[in-house]
Structure 1
């Protein structure tokens, strides 16, 4: 296994599994994207352990990445050159990755606004999937918006999988609680139009398979590892398109 893929798998096994069905030529860029998103999420860790210094530290780390993407700072992080190369080569759009940073910054600000949470989900988990679509060469804005909804649905399902633990995490969770989170995830799935996207782009929508399964189960799956059935469902959809 490619070292970069193994690192991505350890950081985010679900998205890395889905990425294995992408064309070979774009996989390294997507593995870098997965690791980049993981870096942004890890930048929030101090904010969840300290009332004052934590949020400031998180903002500083996220601003560092913003300045790298804006070309205001040398890319002196091991992931930064690959991400900048992908942006310069048109694999990912700079604006999409900047919105990933916006989404993580939203988590640093205590909030109970549902619209802010929905925007965070679309720009965060949704933005990751939009970037995957960009790597595939998808230009159609409606299709990219569907991918954002797909990613947001996956993110909502992932929150449900870990709901009890997340209650103590300090993360910006759905203001309407577990039931509201489940409903929001189903709405994101409907917005993704997962049964009507073009077959040639189906590999970009693979996280919707996990979203459907996670949202159907709810928080009773908390603490349990990802099952073989979930992985097999992704593999079936990846190989056969459904």
Structure 2
């Protein structure tokens, strides 16, 4: 390897570490789950999670600016839509990594556009539970679908179950922080907390993580946290994730990683 190639590789590694550090701060739960993914796909998934964190951050001005309303957030989201669709220059530090993953077929463009559509829907809150349900499947759900795509899952029925896993995690996190989220002005479940938990449980049942193919278990690790969050009260609102939660993910992650490695070995 030439010095130039070594320098390029070192720069890429430094960039990957920077993105991973960003994700661990912005989205520690999903970062923990992504840590068990194969090294071949982990940088792409970390870039995906950083992209999602950036989309979520784009909503902040719309929540805090009474005069601007949702317009500021919608403009920033439209910018990302045009980048994904190739009609705007990717003038953002994260954009090249996300576009590279799309070009290599790691993720489907349609999946990432659904994630973006969910964030747009959050800026146009609806009292209709079915609209909220679709928003969860498009947002947190499509994010988990994309992880499955990165692992090479192509079965649409299985990918739909991974969507349900992501939506269950999103509903569980919403239930866990219910009082704090009410104060934030964020678009929440259009109903009572009990109804939110029932929706989350329905997502979890639709995922049916125990019967997923073994190679897909790595993409469904957020279901571990979803089950725990939906089973507890919101007394932990605003508090960091506890050790027992992290240990539960670690146990499931090691088991899923071993199963994935066995599946890969048999396939080769």
The count of residues paired between Structure 1 and Structure 2 equals 242
User: d(CA) in 1 for partners of 2:165 and 2:41?
Assistant: 20
Q: CA deviation at 1:221?
A: 2.0
Give 1:100's match in structure 2, choosing from 115, 122, 125.
Answer: 115
Show the 5 A alignment for 1:75-90. Answer: 75-90=90-105
Structure 1 segments, 4+ long, off by >4 Å, are none
User: d(CA) in 2 for partners of 1:123 and 1:60?
Assistant: 20
Give 1:124's match in structure 2, choosing from 107, 121, 139.
Answer: 139
User: Is 1:223 paired with 2:238?
Assistant: yes
User: Which of the pair has more CA radius of gyration?
Assistant: 2
User: Is 1:197 paired with 2:203?
Assistant: no
Are the aligned partners of 1:117 and 1:172 in contact in 2 as well (CA < 8 Å)? no
User: d(CA) in 2 for partners of 1:110 and 1:65?
Assistant: 21
Show the 5 A alignment for 1:169-188. Answer: 169-188=184-203
User: d(CA) in 2 for partners of 1:113 and 1:130?
Assistant: 24
TM-score by length of 1: 0.97
Could you say what the CA RMSD is over the residues aligned between the two structures, in angstroms? 1.3
User: d(CA) in 2 for partners of 1:119 and 1:166?
Assistant: 20
User: d(CA) in 2 for partners of 1:178 and 1:146?
Assistant: 24
Where does structure 1 lack aligned partners over 5 or more consecutive residues?
none
Give 1:44's match in structure 2, choosing from 59, 72, 76.
Answer: 59
Q: Deviations over 1:122-176 (max 9, x none)?
A: 0001111000000001000000000000000000011012110111222221112
User: d(CA) in 1 for partners of 2:68 and 2:253?
Assistant: 44
Q: CA deviation at 1:5?
A: 1.4
Q: Deviations over 1:5-41 (max 9, x none)?
A: 1111011000010001111010000010111000110
Q: Indicate the larger mover: 37-46 or 222-231.
A: 222-231
Q: Deviations over 1:172-191 (max 9, x none)?
A: 21112211111100000000
TM-score by length of 2: 0.88
User: d(CA) in 2 for partners of 1:63 and 1:224?
Assistant: 33
Give 1:206's match in structure 2, choosing from 193, 200, 221.
Answer: 221
